[in-house]
Amino acid sequence: MPGLTPETTQMLNSFWPFLLMAIVFYFLLYRPQKKEQKKRATLLDNLKKGDRVITIGGVYGTITALTDKKVTLRVADRVEVDFVRTAVSHYQEDATK
């Protein structure tokens, strides 16, 4: 390349490992984390009464009431427990599967 000094070429060559590390960081760490956050936000936004869920503490229950910040789960007959909405981890799998 005309006009490039050896120092400039050496500087450009030393920049490639950092660029490669940034690309690897993006695809291995940042992108999957953002995808998982989006999936979790969708789960929390779509909760409705009657859904069978599991909390992050491992409590199985059925949603009986919802507010913006709170979820009430029926964990046994005549036993209902309030949780923060973000404590819901995922839906229960169907027992017939």
Strands of the sheet with 70-76, listed across from one edge: 79-84, 70-76, 60-66, 52-55, 88-91
What integer pLDDT is reported at residue 66 of this predicted model? 96
What integer pLDDT is reported at residue 2 of this predicted model? 64
Can you state the percent helix, strand and coil of the chain, rounding each to 5?
45, 30, 25
Nearest alpha carbon to residue 58 among 95, 93, 90: 90
The answer to whether the beta carbons of residues 88 and 81 sit under 8 Å apart is no
What integer pLDDT is reported at residue 5 of this predicted model? 85
pLDDT tens per residue, the chain (97 residues)? 567 788 888 888 888 899 999 999 999 999 999 999 999 999 999 999 999 999 999 999 999 999 999 999 999 999 999 999 999 999 998 654 4
Task: For residue 11, give the H/E element and its range.
Answer: helix 6-25
